[in-house]
Amino acid sequence: MRERGTVAAGRLRLTPLTKGMYNSGMKVVHYSEVPGEDAGEETSGVTIRWVISAEDGAPNYYMRVFEITPGGHTPLHRHAWEHEIYILDGEAELVSEEGSSRVGPGTAIFIPGEELHQIRNPGESLLRLICTIPKT
């Protein structure tokens, strides 16, 4: 029978599922418990929450949750690293050099490095998405 773990200070302490099988050092946190930060000068209405980062011991990839208010947007920019994005709630307009397209909840997006991109919220409700990036 499985035993339940306990959460203390954002870290999960697991009890064994089977003899000799342990998982320790995991971070388990609800995204809303992570302080939101303004995403910067070139954005409008964008809050970012670094839910998994170097501070958590993540050596390769970071996970962020973005909240974009109606009419808000990220900067139109490009950089060397890729993004993986998953739309949780709301409507997103993805802007690139080729134009733009609208997507909704449940959509997965891959943005390769050096691709010009921007995310806008053309809807009437909050746009919430997960964005992962490699350590740069």
CA gap 89, 135 in Å, rounded: 26
Q: Dihedrals φ, ψ of 131, to 5°?
A: -135, 125
CB 26 within 8 A of CB 11: yes
For residues 20 and 63, state if they share a domain. Answer: no
pLDDT single digits (tens) 85-113: 999 999 999 999 999 999 999 999 999 99
Q: Are residues 43 and 90 in the same domain?
A: yes
Active-site residue, selected from the candidate residues 131, 134, 135, 136: 131
Do 3 and 63 have their domain in common? no
Which amino acid belongs to residue 22? Y
Whole-angstrom Cα distance, residue 60 to residue 93? Answer: 28
For 35-46, give one letter per residue: b (16+ CB within 10 A) or e.
eeeebeeebebb
Q: Which domain holds residue 43?
A: 34-134
User: Are residues 52 and 90 part of one domain?
Assistant: yes
**Contact assessment for residue 83 and residue 131, using Cβ atoms and an 8 Å cutoff:** yes
Same domain, 87 and 112: yes
Mean pLDDT of the chain: 86
**Catalytic residue flag (residue 26):** no
Contacts of 108 (CB under 8 A, 6+ apart): 84, 85, 86
Per-residue pLDDT tens for 19-31? 433 356 778 888 9
pTM, 2 dp: 0.80
User: How many domains, the chain?
Assistant: 2
Check which CATH number belongs to the domain holding 110 and give it.
2.60.120.10
64 shares a domain with 18: no
